[in-house]
Amino acid sequence: MDRRPIGVFDSGVGGLTVLHECLVTLPHEDFLYLGDGARLPYGPRPLAEVRRFAHEIAGYLQEQGVKLIVAACNSATSAALPELQERLVVPIVGVLTPEAHAAVQATRNRRVGLLATEATVASGRYEQLVRTLDAGVRLFSVACPRLVPLIESGDPFGAATTEAVRDCAAPLRAAEVDTVILGCTHYPLIRPILQRVFGREVTLVFSAEETAREVAETLARKGIENAGDREGEYRFLTTGDPELFRATGARFLQLPLGGVERVEVRTLARALA
């Protein structure tokens, strides 16, 4: 039995969609979630900068005594996962590999679309993963810089969001993809809009369940599970406004948030030093 919490991080509140599945899959585990609201969004930033942010946050979570880290951010996973796996003492799980695997399994015509942030598309990590799994699958990638701010706004289901989704979807519809990877943890919140625009014949892939399953398997393989006869707890940290995190985060987590603590960006930077 290992009572240490599992650390989860994202650029903001989008990773709460992944945390939700982890809480359902591992109800006996404790979790510590950190959302980097002060530096949101990561997508338009250079990969080197996103990589530095990921190293700071992962280093900080390791200092807080977590036993495993989930990089619940596609941009951070794309930019930094291999280096973090080499550097950290604790294991770290990302969200890209489960999504790529699910998409390759789901496609029927071997034409897969990717909707993601600019940083994720620029990294080319999805292309590498998909090609490794099936070299015959073609991946068509579209960066969607407008979506994250719209989803975190007060009206995520408004006309502006629908228009932005149509613009992002148009190249993928023209490419006749039958499967689309939702390559950002924010996107599942507007899944009804995405499904309506693409139609029921297109499979939308988001790997929160597969990521949670990978976390469970990693804990079991390393023998660091918590006792199964208890109900776990979860805490939230943000570099941004705690009240804004609480108000926005409730839509993503779909569970009570409770208190949110503030952590300074300079505190994270010290973890990298």
The strand ranges marked E within 89-152 are 92-94, 111-116, 138-143
> b/e for 36-58, b at 16 or more Cβ within 10 A?
bbbbbbbbebebeebbbbbbbbb
The strand ranges marked E within 121-207 are 138-143, 179-183, 203-205
Instruction: For residue 272, give both structure tokens.
Output: 């990298």
Distance, in Å, from the CA atom of 41 to the CA atom of 152, rounded to the nearest integer, reads: 10
Distance, in Å, from the CA atom of 78 to the CA atom of 119, rounded to the nearest integer, reads: 8
Using an 8 Å Cβ cutoff, are 107 and 172 in contact? Answer: no
Angle subtended by helix axes 74-87 and 96-106, to nearest 10: 120
- Cβ partners under 8 Å of residue 5, min gap 6: 29, 30, 31, 32, 64, 65, 66, 67, 235
Angle subtended by helix axes 208-222 and 96-106, to nearest 10: 120
**Which listed residue (22, 144, 168, 184) is catalytic?**
184
Q: How many beta carbons lie within 10 A of that of residue 245, not counting itself?
A: 24
**Which listed residue (22, 73, 144, 168) is catalytic?**
73
Active site residue 73: yes
Active site residue 22: no
The strand ranges marked E within the chain are 6-10, 31-35, 68-71, 92-94, 111-116, 138-143, 179-183, 203-205, 234-238, 260-262
Calculate the alpha carbon distances from 158 to 71, 162, 249 in Å. Answer: 29, 7, 18
Q: Which residues are catalytic?
A: 73, 184
